[in-house]
Amino acid sequence: MIGATKKATPMKMLTAFIAAAAAVSAAASAQTVAIMDGTVHTVSGGVIENGDVIIRDGRITQVGADLSAPAGASVIDASGKVVTPGLFAPVSSIGLVEIGAVDDANDASPARDPVGAFPLGASLNAIDAYNPSSVLIPVNRAAGVTRALMAPSVGPTIFAGRAAVIDLSGRPNSVTRAEAAQYVAMGERGAERNGGTRMGAWAVLREYFDEARSYHANPNDYIRRPHDGRFAISDLKALGPVINGEQPLIVAVNSANDIRATIRLKNTYRLNVIIVGASEGWRVAREIATANIPVITDGLYNLPGEFEDIDATLKNAARLNEAGVKISFTEGAHNVRLIRQHAGNAVAEGLPFDAALAAITLNPATMYGLGDQLGSLEAGKIADVVIWDGDPLEVTTRPEAVFINGRPQDLNNRQKMLMERYRDLERGDLPFAYRGAD
Amino acid sequence: MRKTGWTALAVLMLSACAQQNEAESEAEADAAAPAEMETAAKTDEKTDEKNKADGPIHPPLDPYPSTYEPYPGETVLLTGATLLTGAGERIDNGAVLIADGKISAVGSAGDIEAPEGARTINANGKWITPGIIDIHSHLGDYPSPSNASTSDGNEIVSPNTAYVWAEHSVWPQDAGFTRALAGGITSLQVLPGSANLFGGRSAILKNVPSRSVQGMKFPDAPYGLKMACGENPKRVYGERGGPGTRMGNFAGYRSAWIEAAAYKKKWEDYWADYDEWAEDDDDDKGDAPDAPSRDLKLETLAGALSGDITVNMHCYRADEMVQVLDMAKEFGYKVRTFHHAIEAYKIADYLAENDVCAAMWADWWGFKLEAFDTVGENVALVHAQPGGCAIVHSDDALGIQRLNQEAAKAMADGRRIGVEIEPEDAIAWLTYNPAKAMGILDQTGTLETGKMADVVVWNGNPFSVYAKAEKVYIDGALMYDRSDPSRSPRMDFELGLHDNSFTGGAGQ
């Protein structure tokens, strides 16, 4: 602004960075990439020191040690680097929101007020609002996130709607699986939408399922005969795959009591349930494991923030994992990249490293029925791959290259562009607004 | 402690009249703080006979003084560790000697002898830093559990609530204090919220549980004033009489400063008149001049104008920060720290030239438009300026537990664009710099001989996701030990909630 600026010294990492970038841009056209001599965390099959990953036509074709790079492949020397599957954020509103507090830049949920202002819930479909050009996508992609569940947030009703798995390429066709899950808020969030009591929330939830069953048993008949107008036909229709157990239902609950109620619900209606939240999950870890319910938890939450979080602890993830629960970590939208910080902190609290890495790669893929396609480095799987400059769970580590569907990704983003514009504050021949246009 | 505080206060009152910023009516003064008045009168020999009993009215600077007293601690020699002093130095294989609550020696392991009776702790492989300081917290004011009953952080009734003091909302039983302790937090500034242009006074606390907030107050720490730029005030008051725009915000600040300057002058005139009257030997000089009426709001603002109260300005946008600095020049006060300074990197040179600190997050962004331009290198770019003062803050009951990790991220991003930052530099973002900005650097914030022994022993390099604070000393007392449940505080709220057992506690 005014006066002289001390300029940043040249990047220490510059040489390595340019080398990686050059390799990546060559690979863009080649379609065949050989990532050689890295520490390869396959997630499904252990760690390979000096391991190689071969990618062709969007798929991983080989993973192992001492492989040969196929003829014509772009070869990336990953020695000293760590190679992992791309990170998979298991619940987020990425793709639906640009700026939280700006109405026209936030489609994550219908307005809550006034109560009853907007009648629909379960029938909302995230892909209707999906913005693959969102600035959140390149920012989080550059941090190694390659897939995410894009989930609506709850509005006036307990059902948030149908979530989709997307990739973070930013391409128009980046929806991996539409209608991958339904989302419902119970616990305190459910209670406050249903008369202020959990009794209300569970009663209404059961009503929804009973009505949905009735509707799906014979839709034409249901529509013709008198029925309860509180339930929109479109919502009942959308709950079809939930009540027949095909579509996972993400249930947001935290307390041990609410988790037990969720287990009962699953057993009564034979649902495919995933729990999100579960701040007291460790107290009922064995029951959750027995019910075969995956848990997506906040790895950094350890406060009795509400009466449903009394027993929250940083050891939650480690204890759930030890009991045999499949776990993952949740983060909002703008910083879904922080799931690896959750994972790293969980390791510091006793979660085995491999389980922590699986929690942000393979486990989410499995939760949404994509475990055979994504989440690990295995021949035949979709090539979502990240090359890191260090321990992938460490907060000081950053990706050097990211592949989605076998394609090298642009790691530039709005934040980097802003930084480049202002890293040198010396007054130039033109204002700052002209910088970066070349 | 209390007695010492009052004596010090009396001395301050006599020596620094020109900087007095608070006022109260005579009756209130007598009722509220007779002890100060008495002490003051005794030491002022110039005062004439009639006025020896009371003297000029000086509103108390610190009517709710700290009653904090350090807990007992052993004489401890921590040896063999990597030290980051907070003052820019790294000492490998270093040692810290703690005695009588103070740091009594810092140096290489071989150079420091354990005095007789001292306990020597082999800290090989450990890292030792000064206690972590969070300049922006709402612990106690927005405590856990969070609900309407406990939500005491934002007095959303008027754009100018400079009259409220955060300490009057602090619930010392907030479980968040214990979790922060396990993250190495030894001191923190609790600020009022940001709904208002003038939010009120901050409370600077030592992170030692107490039955009262007075028992946590950092002894002799100056008060801070919380102010807020931009979106929050105009959003909150836009449909409640204003301000509804950023220009309305500035009109609100400036009107208040004009009023505060007049108020400050009224008191200064009164003290001058009083002195003149007191020195008058005429028997018929009449009654002593009347003191002005006190105004709690203007007392705080006048204190900010005189420099007794540090100004903490919540401000995201670069252009607004520049405007605020012009306003500070217009009214002759100093902005000590911009908080949430997401766009600090755009004016890092200007902030350094104006000797203003920027308190920042590592990577929060996008929750509102003024938080859209976050860059990961923000902290590093502020740091890189000659004279730049970068602080990493939390504003969050979870973030405060991991300020070391937030600093690690900021350091990592800075290094990747070539800003040379070593751990011994980055630790200052959490220790030296916030201590300086809060006015407590002479007492804490570095590992230096004579300072409060606020010390954290980490199980490794603190700039790692795997690092944990193993031991936290506050004034030389071991207040947290990760391996010893008897050194892990639990607040009253956490007792007997589930099956008559303990829940939570530090380190949970």
How far apart CA A70 and CA A73 sit, in angstroms, is 5
Q: In whole numbers, what is the pLDDT of chain B averaged over residues?
A: 91
How far apart CA A233 and CA A120 sit, in angstroms, is 10
Concatenating the DSSP letter of every residue in B121-178 gives: EE-TT-EEEEPEEEEEE-TTTS-SSPSTTT--S--TT-SB-TT-BGGGT--TT-HHHH
Residue-wise pLDDT for B294-322, tens only, equals: 999 999 999 999 999 999 999 999 999 99
Residue A25 has pLDDT above 70, yes or no: no
Residue A286 has pLDDT above 70, yes or no: yes
> What residues of chain B lie within 8 A of the CB of A3, using their CB?
349-350, 353
How far apart CA B256 and CA A34 sit, in angstroms, is 66
Q: Check whether residue A68 and residue A117 sit in a common domain.
A: no
pLDDT range class, residue A112, cuts 50, 70, 90: confident
How far apart CA A31 and CA A46 sit, in angstroms, is 26
Total domain count for chain A? 2
Residue A299 has pLDDT above 80, yes or no: yes
Q: Check whether residue A284 and residue A165 sit in a common domain.
A: yes
> What residues of chain A lie within 8 A of the CB of B360, using their CB?
none
Give residue A113's pLDDT: 77
Residue A10 has pLDDT above 70, yes or no: no
Give residue A114's pLDDT: 72
Residue B52 has pLDDT above 90, yes or no: no
Are A384 and A85 in contact by the 8 Å Cβ rule? The answer is yes
> What residues of chain A lie within 8 A of the CB of B372, using their CB?
99
Among all residues of chain A, which has the CA nearest to that of B322?
A1
Domain finish residue from A355, A374, A393: A374
Long-range contacts of B248-253 (CB under 8 A, 24+ apart): B249/B197, B250/B323, B250/B327, B252/B159, B252/B160, B252/B197, B253/B197, B253/B198, B253/B227, B253/B327
The enclosing domain of A261 has a CATH number of 3.20.20.140
Give residue A3's pLDDT: 38
Domain finish residue from A374, A394, A428: A374
Q: Check whether residue A289 and residue A390 sit in a common domain.
A: no
pLDDT range class, residue A30, cuts 50, 70, 90: very low
Task: Write down how long chain A is.
Answer: 438
Minimal C-alpha gap between B414 and chain A (Å): 9
pLDDT range class, residue B507, cuts 50, 70, 90: confident
Taking alpha carbons only, the member of B505, B234, B214 closest to residue A315 is: B505
Give the pairing of strands A74-77 and A32-41: parallel
Give residue A115's pLDDT: 66
Residue B106 has pLDDT above 90, yes or no: yes
Residue B32 has pLDDT above 90, yes or no: no
Taking alpha carbons only, the member of A189, A349, A154 closest to residue B465 is: A349
Minimal C-alpha gap between B208 and chain A (Å): 18
A5–B349 CB contact, under 8 Å:
yes
B366–A1 CB contact, under 8 Å:
no
Q: Check whether residue A286 and residue A387 sit in a common domain.
A: no
For residue A346, the number of C-alpha atoms closer than 13 Å in the C-beta half-sphere is 33
Residue-wise pLDDT for B191-229, tens only, equals: 999 999 999 999 999 999 999 999 999 999 999 999 999
Give the helix ranges, DSSP H, for A165-315. 187-191, 198-217, 219-224, 233-238, 240-243, 256-269, 285-290
Give the helix ranges, DSSP H, for A284-338. 285-290, 316-322
Give residue B26's pLDDT: 36
Q: Check whether residue A333 and residue A420 sit in a common domain.
A: no
Among all residues of chain A, which has the CA nearest to that of B378?
A419
What does the pLDDT average to over A103-123?
A: 88
A8–B384 CB contact, under 8 Å:
yes
Query: B276: which strand partners?
Result: none
Give residue B122's pLDDT: 98
Q: Check whether residue A293 and residue A185 sit in a common domain.
A: yes
How far apart CA A307 and CA B213 sit, in angstroms, is 24
Residue B444 has pLDDT above 90, yes or no: yes
Q: Check whether residue A310 and residue A332 sit in a common domain.
A: yes
What does the pLDDT average to over B329-341?
A: 98
Residue B16 has pLDDT above 50, yes or no: no
Q: Check whether residue A72 and residue A130 sit in a common domain.
A: no
ipTM above 0.85? yes
Mutate to test the interface with B, among A96, A302, A416 (most CBs of B within 10 A): A302
Residue-wise pLDDT for A163-182, tens only, equals: 999 999 999 999 999 999 99
> What residues of chain A lie within 8 A of the CB of B398, using their CB?
300-303
Residue-wise pLDDT for B70-83, tens only, equals: 999 999 999 999 99
Give residue B20's pLDDT: 34
Answer whether CATH 3.20.20.140 is correct for domain B132-246+310-442: yes
Among all residues of chain A, which has the CA nearest to that of B368?
A101
Give residue A116's pLDDT: 67
Residue-wise pLDDT for A188-243, tens only, equals: 999 999 999 999 999 999 999 999 999 999 999 999 998 888 899 999 999 999 99
Q: Check whether residue A395 and residue A365 sit in a common domain.
A: no
Q: Check whether residue A202 and residue A245 sit in a common domain.
A: yes
Q: Check whether residue A186 and residue A248 sit in a common domain.
A: yes
- Pairs of CB atoms within 8 A across A/B: 169
> What residues of chain B lie within 8 A of the CB of A99, using their CB?
366-369, 372
Are B218 and B192 in contact by the 8 Å Cβ rule? The answer is no
The enclosing domain of A395 has a CATH number of 2.30.40.10
B366–A98 CB contact, under 8 Å:
yes
Mutate to test the interface with A, among B363, B373, B482 (most CBs of A within 10 A): B363
Nearest to B412 among A301, A395, A425 (CB): A395
Among all residues of chain A, which has the CA nearest to that of B469?
A348
> What residues of chain B lie within 8 A of the CB of A315, using their CB?
508
pLDDT range class, residue B4, cuts 50, 70, 90: very low
Grouping H, G, I as helix, E, B as strand and the rest as coil, residue B366 is coil
Residue-wise pLDDT for A330-352, tens only, equals: 999 999 999 999 999 999 999 99
Taking alpha carbons only, the member of A356, A361, A400 closest to residue A381 is: A361
Nearest to A335 among B144, B363, B498 (CB): B363
pLDDT range class, residue B31, cuts 50, 70, 90: very low
Among all residues of chain B, which has the CA nearest to that of A98?
B366
Taking alpha carbons only, the member of A149, A126, A28, A73 closest to residue A411 is: A28
Cβ atoms within 10 A of the Cβ of B117, count?
A: 8
Containing domain of residue A207, as a range?
A: 87-374
B503–A304 CB contact, under 8 Å:
yes
Minimal C-alpha gap between A339 and chain B (Å): 12
**Would you put residue A349 in left (φ > 0), alpha (ψ -120 to 50) or beta?**
alpha
Domain spans, chain B: 1-65, 132-246+310-442
> What residues of chain B lie within 8 A of the CB of A348, using their CB?
465-468
Q: Check whether residue A300 and residue A178 sit in a common domain.
A: yes
Grouping H, G, I as helix, E, B as strand and the rest as coil, residue A83 is strand
> What residues of chain B lie within 8 A of the CB of A314, using their CB?
508
Residue-wise pLDDT for B393-439, tens only, equals: 999 999 999 999 999 999 999 999 999 999 999 999 999 999 999 99
The answer to whether the Cα torsion of B26, B31, B32, B35 is positive or negative is: positive
Strands (DSSP E) contained in A20-73 are 32-41, 47-56, 59-65
How far apart CA B221 and CA B211 sit, in angstroms, is 20
Rg over alpha carbons for chain A, rounded to the nearest Å, is: 23
Q: In whole numbers, what is the pLDDT of chain A averaged over residues?
A: 93
